A and B are shown apart, each in its own frame.
Chain A
């Protein structure tokens, strides 16, 4: 799995960082998404898919390979 985040589209809601803190964080000033792990381990794939599906900015995309 490869994760890509678009910081321009991010609305800073913190949903991703709240639900999958192993993969997403937020910078401190405006709460914009910070991608910690673009190739997360297998056990997190489901959570990452769900974060992408839930992101209100549609700022997270995921490619499976």
Chain B
């Protein structure tokens, strides 16, 4: 096989809910295989549940950003490689630096603390639903519900004061706007960094994450600001997308929606199933071997790039025995990899769960006749635009 024949990471979908078909073929025949990166590098693609899990819990593989390169050519975005980690971005660090920072975060994201946020989330949800009701359908659910909910939740979490939330939301919108120019996005990021710096220092709410971290005194100011920025970039669009795509998936599967609304005991499992089914991080997660090694029957060289494909692992029939390509809110979802696996597994996951629990049942309670305002086939998804899978908009009515 010449380098030209090595396939790049597939992104095209025939159905919004089905990962690219090539991924399933690779999973079946070559669960670890060569893959071409946009900059010409020939690295690796790992697609099966068992290899993904094994790799993500193997300390010989690094998450350091120096090794990371863009897996997909994104329109208007230069392929990146070898960018050093920004202060506080645990996602891009290996132990022991990773451990030092992550431990500070996990202490603040305990299940107990996340449960305590519930009343505040319920209030935000109710306000947004009031707004939708006042406006009347059709409305774009992303613009009017999932985006503001996700943004305001991050504000609550980080401790951004009410007076600065509008500015925070405005700049987040530019930062994640799929039509924003690189210059606008970078200016928005600079302003957000400045705002977060203030929040961490003294301007933040008393019980906010950034101020609490600052008072603990273990991490320095730039690390704390970086943590805020990382949570915003990794947690804002992803959570909004999970709720929008989750709603879309339920609307597209009326039998599942009927069960979801009829039986409150099914809600928690249904949300896990939606997370598995839509697997938001559709470009997977990046890793590199720290040394030459053998893995999954292949010889990998130190520093080669590996794309760990979460969407195909989450549809692996070896793990999810019954019809993994079907949405089934009653299935056993344990071991799904939507939040990753191993030491970098998402610290925000229980916040996401609380948010989805607050949002989705309330949405269908408020609007029992909720439906798409356009044919399902016309809902526009993004395939190669962002590492976070999602819809541009989700027009709904009731």
A residues at B contact (CB < 8 Å): 11-15, 17-19, 21, 25-26, 28-32, 49-51, 53-54, 56-58
Contacts and interface: CB of A to CB of B under 8 A. Distances in A.
A26 B112 contact: yes
Contacts of B334: 49-51, 53-54
Contact of A13 (B115, B336, B347): B347
B114 interface: yes
Given A11-B106, A13-B106, A30-B103, A50 B332 contact: yes
Interface stretch (B255-263, B303-311, B338-346): B338-346
Interface string B77-105: 00000000000000000000000001110
Contacts of B114: 14, 18
A28 B212 CA distance: 13
A15 B351 CA distance: 11
12 contacts: A13-B345, A13-B347, A13-B349, A13-B350, A18-B111, A18-B115, A25-B111, A26-B111, A31-B103, A49-B334, A57-B342, A58-B57
A28 B104 CA distance: 10
B180 interface: no
Contacts of A26: 106, 110-112
B278 to A, nearest CB: 18
Contacts of A14: 106, 109-111, 114, 349-350
Given A53-B334, A56-B345, A31 B109 contact: yes
Interface in B312-337: 332, 334-336
B353 interface: yes
A30 B106 contact: yes
Interface of B: 57, 102-104, 106-112, 114-115, 268, 332, 334-336, 339-343, 345-347, 349-350, 353
A17 B343 contact: no
Contacts of B340: 56
A13 B103 contact: no
A17 B112 contact: yes
A11 B109 contact: no
A41 B109 CA distance: 28
B111 A21 contact: yes
User: Among B103, B106, B268, B346, which residue has the most Cβ atoms of chain A within 10 A?
Assistant: B106
A31 B110 contact: yes
Contacts of A49: 334
A21 B116 CA distance: 14
Contacts of B346: 13
